[in-house]
Chain A
Amino acid sequence: MSTHHILIPKVSTLVAVWAALIVLTGVTSAVSYLELGEWNIVVALLIALTKASLVAWVFMAVRHSTTLTRLFCVAGLAWLSILILLTYSDYHTRDWTYQAKPWSTNKAAGDSR
């Protein structure tokens, strides 16, 4: 059952990660009160990604896991990116109107030549 080598984490490491997560929660709350325009969401998501990475890497022991497990994690993130990016880019570009270019011969787009 336990033939493979088990790496038991140090309590100090776990407490340090916990402290970092608490500090980052305070930072993301404080930064949200600053007026940074479009950068508010960027900073908030970067801090959330950092926190999630800390939890996965240390608490979920990805740092001690096999290459296959890590491959599964990356695959999950890849599918999530496809899901969100393709859905978002579809809706984001729906109202982009077609503009006739000088070389266009499309009658429907208003070409009078």
Chain B
Amino acid sequence: MDASMLGMWTFLITEVLFFGGMFAAYAVYRNMYPAAFASTSKFMDVILGGTNTAVLICSSLTMVLAVRAAQLSKRRDLILFTILTMIFGTAFLVIKAFEYHSKWVEHLIPGFDFQYDEPRYQHNAQILFFLYFCMTGMHALHMIVGLGLLTYLLVQSVRRVFNADYFAPVEMIGLYWHFVDVVWIFLFPLLYLIGHRR
């Protein structure tokens, strides 16, 4: 049990460094072009981004309640909270898809007919949108993997695999899910809240 948890933490540390590379690139380019980066905020939907932050926080709560249910051998609760977590996770991806679609409509896909209303930031604002799609895209990919893991969890719960004596997979998938939540907790202020007060 402890060994598998420590292994999961080790994997998550490699994930921290994987996303860390993109956060470092963000820090460097934001320092180079602060005005261009700040100008992008009016194209970010704070309401949708904030809603998605709340949706992910809710999914983390249902996830930790699912782990608790497994620890107490409460099979019905485990199934219920796993399904709720999957619903929140899917809701996040649906909202994200609407945001991506509006970026497409507004010609804000970098390198693909990118048109910016402030010509002086045409090039430098593209860097932010490139980072936006890299970071949120990799995050969304992790969400999709997480939903796959939750599907496995749901099937195994229905088959009565987990109980108070065996719930390590539930805990490990929980750790992964919370980690993906933590990544978004940093992405939301850095990508959506840069400079819309200016």
How many interface contacts (CB-CB < 8 Å) are there between A and B?
Answer: 134
Q: How far is the CA of A55 from the CA of B186 in the complex (A)?
A: 12
- Of the A-B pairs whose beta carbons lie under 8 Å apart in the complex, a sample of 19, sorted by A's number, is A1-B1, A2-B164, A4-B1, A14-B65, A18-B57, A21-B57, A25-B188, A48-B185, A59-B60, A59-B61, A59-B63, A59-B178, A68-B6, A69-B9, A76-B12, A83-B17, A83-B20, A87-B27, A88-B28
B126 to chain A, nearest CB (A): 18
**Cβ-closest chain A residue relative to B53:** A25
Interface of B is mostly: helix
Q: Which of A1, A33, A59 contacts B197 (CB 8 A)?
A: A33
Q: A1-B166, A34-B197 are in contact. Are A55 and B24 (CB under 8 A)?
A: no
Contact between chains at B17 and A59 (CB < 8 Å): no
Contacts of A34 in B (CB 8 A): 197
Contact between chains at B193 and A32 (CB < 8 Å): yes
Verify if B102 is at the interface (C-beta below 8 Å from A).
no
Contact between chains at A91 and B196 (CB < 8 Å): no
Q: A44-B193, A56-B182, A76-B12 are in contact. Are A84 and B68 (CB under 8 A)?
A: no
> In the complex, which range does the number of interface residues on chain A fall in?
35 or more
B157 to chain A, nearest CB (A): 18
Q: Mark A38-59, 1 if CB is under 8 A from B, else 0.
A: 0010001101100110011011
B residues in contact (CB < 8 Å) with A? 1-2, 5-6, 9-10, 12-13, 16-17, 20-21, 23-24, 27-28, 31-32, 46, 50, 53-54, 57-58, 60-61, 63-65, 68, 71-72, 164-166, 171, 174-175, 178-179, 181-182, 185-186, 188-190, 193, 196-198
Contacts of B53 in A (CB 8 A): 25
Q: How far is the CA of A28 from the CA of B9 in the complex (A)?
A: 28
Contact between chains at A48 and B189 (CB < 8 Å): yes
A residues in contact (CB < 8 Å) with B? 1-2, 4, 6, 8-9, 11, 14-15, 17-18, 21-22, 25-26, 28-29, 32-35, 40, 44-45, 47-48, 51-52, 55-56, 58-61, 65-66, 68-69, 72-73, 75-77, 79-80, 83-84, 87-88, 91-92
